[in-house]
C-alpha cells in the first residue's frame, strides 16, 4: 500500500506538467516502467527530453527526471564502498577484482527505497518503429522508512559492533561515479522501444537497480554502507508529445 500511495503522489505531482502543452514541446516524453525478478520489483515514472543528432537524426541524446520505487523481501546487501570491495577508488574499479574477504552482509526481511534522480538518455532509432535506448540515473536523493537488518555473517565477530540486529536508514544522496564508486540508489535501463501508435510506444528490456542503506553503527572495516544490485526484466509504456 505504501508503494501505491507514493506512486500516486508522484504521479499527481507531474500530471499538471503533462497537461501543459507549453511545457511538453517537441522532444518531450513520459515513461512508465514495471520490472521484477520475483524477489525484488521496481516501478519507475519518468519525464525526459530528447534531442535528435546527426544528419540522419537517428541518434538521441537527452535528460530527464525519474522516480523509482524498488521493493523486495529476503534481500542481502553487501559492503558498498569501492575502497573495500576492490581497493580501487578510481576508474580502475571497473576492471578490479572483488576483494571477497572484505565483503560483509546485511539481510533485510523487507525493504523499500524511493529515489528521485536526474537521468541521462542515449538512443538510436533503428527503424521507423524500433528504437534502442540506454538510460541511467546521474544524481538525486532517496528516501524511505528506517529498517532493522539481520547481521549474521562471519564478519560479525570482527566487527566493532557485534549485535545481530542492526538499525539502518536509506542512504540519502545519490551520485553516479562509476561502478562501486557510486553513492546511494540508482536506476538504469537497457531497452527496445516499439511504436504502436503515433504517440505511444511499448518498451521492453532490463532494469538494473542499485539500492543502498547506511547503518547507524560502524561494522566490519568501519563500514556503514551496504548495497544491493538487482537485475530485473522490464516492460513499460512511453508516451511522446511529438512524432519522435
Query: What is the tens place of the pLDDT at every residue in 34-46?
Result: 999 999 999 999 9
Predicted structure pTM score:
0.86
Q: How far apart are CA 23 and CA 16, in angstroms?
A: 10
Q: How far apart are CA 117 and CA 94, in angstroms?
A: 23
Specify the pLDDT at position 94: 75
pLDDT band, very low/low/confident/very high, at 13 (cuts 50, 70, 90):
very low
Specify the pLDDT at position 87: 83
Length of the chain measured in residues: 244
Give which of 176, 182, 195, 177 is closest to 228, Cα–Cα: 182
Q: Please give the average per-residue pLDDT across 181-197, as a whole number.
A: 96
Specify the pLDDT at position 26: 61
Q: How far apart are CA 234 and CA 188, in angstroms?
A: 11
How far from chain centre, in Å, is Cα 10? 16
CA-atom Rg of the chain in angstroms: 19
Query: What is the tens place of the pLDDT at every residue in 52-81?
Result: 988 888 999 999 999 999 999 999 999 999
In the chain, what percentage of residues exceed pLDDT 70?
Answer: 89
Specify the pLDDT at position 91: 74
Give which of 241, 238, 211 is closest to 226, Cα–Cα: 211
Could you give the count of Cα atoms lying within 13 Å of 173 in the half-sphere of its Cβ? 3
CA dist 203 → 37, 39, 191 (Å): 17, 22, 6
Largest interatomic CA distance in the chain: 62
CB 208 within 8 A of CB 229: yes
Kind plus residue range of the DSSP H or E element containing 166: strand 165-170
64-79 exposure pattern, b = at least 16 Cβ within 10 A, e = fewer: bebbbbbbbeebebbb
pLDDT band, very low/low/confident/very high, at 7 (cuts 50, 70, 90):
very low
**Domains of the chain: which residue ranges?**
2-240
Q: How far apart are CA 199 and CA 179, in angstroms?
A: 35
Query: What is the tens place of the pLDDT at every residue in 104-154?
Result: 999 999 999 999 999 999 999 999 999 999 999 999 999 999 999 999 888
Task: Say which CATH class 2-240 falls into.
Answer: mainly beta
Amino acid at each position: 500500500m505504501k508503494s501505491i500511495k507514493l506512486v500516486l503522489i508522484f504521479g499527481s505531482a507531474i500530471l499538471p506538467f503533462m497537461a501543459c502543452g507549453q511545457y511538453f514541446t517537441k522532444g518531450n516524453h513520459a515513461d512508465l516502467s514495471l520490472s521484477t525478478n520475483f524477489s525484488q520489483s521496481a516501478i519507475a515514472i519518468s519525464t525526459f527530453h530528447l534531442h535528435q543528432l546527426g544528419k540522419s537524426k537517428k541518434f538521441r541524446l537527452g535528460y530527464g527526471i525519474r522516480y523509482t520505487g524498488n521493493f523486495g523481501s529476503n534481500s542481502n546487501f553487501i559492503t558498498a564502498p569501492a575502497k573495500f570491495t576492490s581497493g580501487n577508488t578510481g576508474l580502475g574499479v571497473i576492471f578490479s577484482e572483488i576483494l571477497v574477504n572484505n565483503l560483509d552482509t546485511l539481510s533485510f526481511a523487507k525493504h523499500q527505497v524511493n529515489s528521485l534522480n536526474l537521468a541521462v538518455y542515449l538512443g538510436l532509432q533503428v527503424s521507423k518503429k524500433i528504437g534502442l535506448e540506454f538510460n541511467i540515473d546521474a544524481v538525486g536523493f532517496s528516501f524511505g522508512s528506517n529498517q532493522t537488518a539481520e547481521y549474521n555473517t562471519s564478519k560479525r565477530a570482527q566487527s566493532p559492533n557485534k549485535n545481530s540486529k542492526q538499525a539502518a536508514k536509506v542512504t540519502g544522496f545519490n551520485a553516479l561515479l562509476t561502478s562501486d564508486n557510486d553513492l546511494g540508489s540508482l536506476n538504469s535501463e537497457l531497452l527496445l522501444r516499439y511504436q504502436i501508435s503515433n504517440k505511444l510506444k511499448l518498451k521492453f528490456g532490463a532494469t538494473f537497480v542499485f539500492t543502498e542503506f547506511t547503518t547507524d553503527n560502524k561494522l566490519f572495516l568501519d563500514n556503514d554502507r551496504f548495497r544491493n544490485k538487482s537485475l530485473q526484466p522490464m516492460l513499460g509504456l512511453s508516451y511522446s508529445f511529438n512524432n519522435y
